[in-house]
């Protein structure tokens, strides 16, 4: 006990305070690691939930006596990993999370007999809005939605009918929604509401950006956006196609292709008639025949009774008759039908007027004499072949004014950097460990390192210091004359087993006076000043032997 007290006094107040702080910190750290390792791992139950849903979920979890954690300002709830599926089914049975909206479950506990028609209509409107909001939230990229419907009632004997309208506020995960997603939401809501047109649905995001006006005539805006999307999609598809071809030649990530397409946005309707003269067909034929005859009656011009009698001239001679004249005419009309082709051609907007393609190709890298990668430009013949492939793949049309440019320049990224990145990515997914597994292994590694540091730098010096003090006390506590022929002072310095080293060097016991003898075993925590002075004189007179003894002590302590 005295040795321990002497040890504490020798350390001092500052060292004791430092050791105490280190010990408390180590205990706290070990306790934290022990709790982390001993606690059951938590898993995400629900995220991005509202305050109302979170409070109801917490009440259900408390009733079920399930431990949980709230993170992310209360928008995320973590529960034991083994109970995630069971708790989700339990909360789904309670209608959670409801998303802050009410659906058709509003009619489950409603009193049909005591409810007015006005209240029924309001509840039906609320239920319809809530169901639509839930459906919209199920779309990828949408975190929240609020739907407002205006369903005007048609009055009796009224000829005018107002159209229903809808307004939607969306909370999206990314910057904005695509045009196709906005149109999908419009048609989804319009199909669920009787008489609602898709163009009467207005959509706004949480930042106040107008995604759909709902003014009723968005045909021009929709048409312009569809044309722009068509151009962007065409450029992206052609760029990917060309990059795949070039990268098969120069290597992956060794080529970049940019495509610019000029589109014709005009709608053109063309009508043309084509006649084929060689394809004539007889359609109709008309024939007209005409015959006439006349006689010259100059000799019988007189008006007599004989001329007016029938057959008065039958008996006469031909010479007596006048000159006769006969005429025949035939007319034929043939109608032919000529082959005719009428073609009406409608050219929709979005036609490609011109294509411009820029291809950037990296050079080749050859290992130099010093081991570094040396850049080597590609041959012009190889670039010409790449340009020919690009023209064939893109449908190059010189009349249209298409342009293709292939340039060989060194890329900023070197192969060494690419290899290091690939190695890092491969190490990140080593043996299929998840991020949680890697973090847990890292915690165990840190715990092991800190434990080793605590053992080697805290516990071992304390044990060594305590053992050295006790051993020194045992070696100094030899009684006088028990050092194998040495005096008490010699025994005090030599300790056990060191008498031979000082047997011939130190004075004989009889040469020392009584006040020079020191027996540490009889001293209770105090030593005479004269004894300490005499020991110092012995050390001064015999330095080599004293050094060897001290070294042996240090060796035994270590």
Flag whether pLDDT at 499 surpasses 50: no
Given this model, what pLDDT does residue 305 score? 64
The answer to whether 49 and 75 have CB atoms below 8 angstroms apart is yes
pLDDT tens-place string over residues 78-88 = 888 888 888 88
Q: CA 475, CA 496: separation in Å to the nearest integer?
A: 6
* Token pair of 513 as six digits: 């006076």
From 332, 330, 326, select the one nearest 289 (Cα to Cα). Answer: 330
Q: CA 184, CA 212: separation in Å to the nearest integer?
A: 11
Which helix (H) or strand (E) element contains residue 7?
helix 2-38
pLDDT tens-place string over residues 202-234 = 999 888 888 888 776 555 666 666 777 788 888
Maximum average pLDDT range among 191-195, 296-300, 369-373, 463-467: 191-195
Flag whether pLDDT at 316 surpasses 60: no
161-165: Cβ within 8 A, 24+ apart: 163/195, 163/196, 163/197, 163/200, 163/216, 164/193, 164/194, 164/195, 164/196, 164/200, 165/196, 165/200, 165/201, 165/202, 165/214
Q: CA 518, CA 516: separation in Å to the nearest integer?
A: 6
Given this model, what pLDDT does residue 142 score? 86
Flag whether pLDDT at 26 surpasses 80: no
* Token pair of 103 as six digits: 């659906």
Given this model, what pLDDT does residue 511 score? 44
Q: CA 14, CA 65: separation in Å to the nearest integer?
A: 49
Maximum average pLDDT range among 90-104, 264-278, 376-390, 446-460: 376-390
Given this model, what pLDDT does residue 225 score? 66
Higher-confidence residue of 426 and 407: namely 407
Flag whether pLDDT at 424 surpasses 50: no
Given this model, what pLDDT does residue 143 score? 82
Give the residues across from 333 on adjacent strands: 286
The answer to whether 476 and 520 have CB atoms below 8 angstroms apart is yes
The answer to whether 287 and 335 have CB atoms below 8 angstroms apart is no
Flag whether pLDDT at 367 surpasses 50: yes
Number of helices (H) and strands (E) in the chain: give both, helices first. 15, 14
Given this model, what pLDDT does residue 244 score? 92
Confidence band of 383 (pLDDT split at 50, 70, 90): very high
Once rounded to an integer, what is the mean pLDDT over residues 171-186?
83
Given this model, what pLDDT does residue 491 score? 42
Which helix (H) or strand (E) element contains residue 420?
helix 415-428
Q: How many residues does the chain have?
A: 558
Question: Looking up tokens 């039906």, which residue turns up?
Answer: 124
| DSSP code, position 300 | T
Q: CA 295, CA 301: separation in Å to the nearest integer?
A: 12
3-class secondary-structure state, position 121: helix
From the number of C-beta atoms within 10 Å of its C-beta (0-12, 13-18, 19+), residue 184 rates as middle
- Ordered by where they begin, the domains of the chain are 40-100 (3.30.70.1530), 104-217 (3.30.300.30), 477-557 (no CATH)
Q: Kindly give the pairing relationship between strand 142-150 and strand 165-172.
A: antiparallel
Higher-confidence residue of 53 and 411: namely 411
Maximum average pLDDT range among 73-77, 155-159, 164-168, 436-440: 164-168
Give the residues across from 289 on adjacent strands: 330
Quote the distance between the C-alpha of residue 541 and its chain's center.
Answer: 82
Q: What residue spans of 193-292 are helical by DSSP H?
A: 219-250
Given this model, what pLDDT does residue 507 score? 46
Lowest-confidence segment of 58-62, 71-75, 121-125 by average pLDDT: 71-75
Lowest-confidence segment of 123-127, 183-187, 406-410 by average pLDDT: 123-127
pLDDT tens-place string over residues 321-347 = 556 777 788 888 888 787 888 889 888
pLDDT tens-place string over residues 248-289 = 998 888 899 999 999 887 888 889 888 887 777 788 888 888
Higher-confidence residue of 535 and 393: namely 393
Scored b (16 or more CB within 10 A) or e, 304-340 reads eeeeeeeeeeeeeeeeeeeeeeeeeeeeeeeeeeeee
Q: CA 331, CA 350: separation in Å to the nearest integer?
A: 59
Flag whether pLDDT at 355 surpasses 90: yes
Phi first, then psi, for residue 258 (nearest 5°) are: -125, 135
Q: CA 58, CA 283: separation in Å to the nearest integer?
A: 92
Flag whether pLDDT at 389 surpasses 80: yes
Phi first, then psi, for residue 335 (nearest 5°) are: -100, 125
Q: CA 543, CA 506: separation in Å to the nearest integer?
A: 11
Higher-confidence residue of 454 and 149: namely 149
* Token pair of 353 as six digits: 């007027």
Given this model, what pLDDT does residue 216 score? 66
Higher-confidence residue of 243 and 264: namely 243
Half-sphere exposure of 466 (CA within 13 A, CB side): 10
The answer to whether 436 and 41 have CB atoms below 8 angstroms apart is yes
Lowest-confidence segment of 4-18, 108-122, 388-402 by average pLDDT: 4-18
The set of residues, in sequence order, having a beta carbon less than 8 Å from that of 510 and lying 6+ positions away, is none
Higher-confidence residue of 38 and 237: namely 237
Flag whether pLDDT at 469 surpasses 80: no
Higher-confidence residue of 444 and 459: namely 444
Average pLDDT, the chain: 74
If phi > 0 it is left, if psi is from -120 to 50 it is alpha, else beta; for residue 186 that is alpha
Question: What order of strands is seen across the sheet that includes strand 351-361?
Answer: 255-264, 351-361, 403-408
Q: CA 74, CA 97: separation in Å to the nearest integer?
A: 14
- Percent of the chain clearing pLDDT 90 (strictly above): 13
Flag whether pLDDT at 503 surpasses 50: no
64-69: Cβ within 8 A, 24+ apart: 64/90, 69/42
Maximum average pLDDT range among 236-250, 332-346, 451-465: 236-250
Once rounded to an integer, what is the mean pLDDT over residues 94-123?
74
Flag whether pLDDT at 51 surpasses 90: no
Given this model, what pLDDT does residue 314 score? 52
Maximum average pLDDT range among 97-101, 139-143, 464-468: 139-143
The set of residues, in sequence order, having a beta carbon less than 8 Å from that of 32 and lying 6+ positions away, is none
The set of residues, in sequence order, having a beta carbon less than 8 Å from that of 410 and lying 6+ positions away, is 362, 363, 375
The set of residues, in sequence order, having a beta carbon less than 8 Å from that of 557 and lying 6+ positions away, is 464, 467, 468, 471
* Token pair of 541 as six digits: 């007179």
The answer to whether 404 and 396 have CB atoms below 8 angstroms apart is yes
Given this model, what pLDDT does residue 492 score? 43
DSSP string, 329-370: EEEEEEEEEEEEEEEEEEE-S-EEEEEEEEEEE--EEEE-TT
């Amino acid at each position: 006990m005295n040795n321990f007290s002497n040890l504490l006094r020798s350390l001092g107040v500052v060292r004791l305070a430092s050791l105490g702080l280190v010990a408390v910190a180590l205990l706290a750290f070990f306790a934290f690691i022990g709790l982390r390792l001993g606690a059951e791992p938590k898993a995400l139950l629900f995220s991005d939930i509202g305050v109302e849903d979170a409070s109801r979920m917490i009440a259900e979890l408390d009733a079920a006596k399930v431990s949980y954690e709230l993170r992310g300002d209360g928008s995320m709830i973590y529960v034991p990993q083994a109970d995630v599926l069971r708790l989700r089914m339990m909360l789904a049975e309670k209608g959670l999370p409801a998303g802050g909206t009410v659906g058709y479950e509003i009619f489950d506990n409603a009193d049909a007999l005591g409810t007015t028609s006005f209240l029924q209509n309001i509840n039906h409107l609320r239920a319809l809005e809530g169901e639509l909001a839930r459906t919209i939230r199920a779309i990828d990229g949408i975190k929240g939605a609020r739907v407002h419907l205006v369903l005007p009632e048609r009055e009796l004997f009224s000829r005018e009918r107002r159209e229903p309208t809808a307004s939607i506020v969306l909370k999206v995960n990314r910057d904005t929604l695509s045009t196709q997603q906005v149109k999908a939401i419009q048609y989804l809501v319009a199909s669920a509401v009787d008489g609602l047109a898709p163009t009467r649905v207005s959509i706004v995001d949480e930042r106040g950006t107008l995604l759909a006006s709902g003014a009723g005539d968005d045909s021009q805006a929709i048409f312009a956006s569809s044309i722009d999307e068509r151009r962007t999609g065409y450029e992206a598809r052609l760029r990917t196609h060309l990059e795949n071809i070039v990268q098969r030649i120069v290597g992956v990530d060794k080529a970049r292709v940019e495509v610019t397409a000029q589109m014709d946005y005009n709608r053109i309707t063309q009508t043309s008639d084509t006649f084929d003269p060689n394809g004539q067909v007889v359609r109709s034929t008309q024939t007209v025949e005409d015959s006439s005859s006349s006689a010259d009656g100059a000799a019988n011009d007189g008006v007599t009774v004989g001329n007016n009698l029938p057959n008065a001239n039958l008996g006469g001679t031909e010479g007596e008759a006048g000159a006769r004249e006969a005429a025949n005419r035939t007319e034929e009309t043939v109608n032919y039908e000529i082959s005719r082709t009428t073609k009406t051609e409608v050219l929709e907007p979005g036609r490609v007027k011109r294509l411009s393609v820029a291809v950037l190709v990296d050079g080749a890298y050859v290992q130099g004499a010093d081991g570094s990668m040396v850049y080597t430009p590609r041959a012009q013949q190889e670039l010409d072949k790449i340009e020919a492939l690009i023209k064939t793949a893109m449908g190059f049309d010189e009349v249209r004014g298409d342009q293709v440019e292939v340039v060989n320049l060194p890329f900023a990224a070197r192969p060494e950097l690419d290899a290091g990145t690939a190695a890092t990515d491969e190490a990140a997914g080593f043996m299929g460990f998840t991020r949680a597994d890697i973090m847990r292994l890292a915690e165990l590694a840190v715990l092991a390192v800190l434990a080793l540091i605590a053992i080697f730098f805290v516990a071992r010096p304390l044990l060594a210091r305590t053992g050295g003090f006790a051993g020194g006390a045992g070696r100094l506590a030899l009684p006088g004359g028990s050092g194998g022929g040495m005096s008490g002072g010699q025994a005090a310095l030599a300790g056990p087993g060191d008498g031979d080293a000082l047997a011939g060097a130190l004075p004989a016991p009889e040469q020392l006076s009584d006040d020079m003898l020191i027996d540490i075993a009889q001293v209770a925590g105090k030593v005479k000043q004269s004894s300490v002075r005499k020991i110092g004189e012995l050390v001064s007179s015999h330095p080599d032997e004293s050094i060897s003894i001290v070294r042996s002590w240090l060796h035994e302590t270590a």
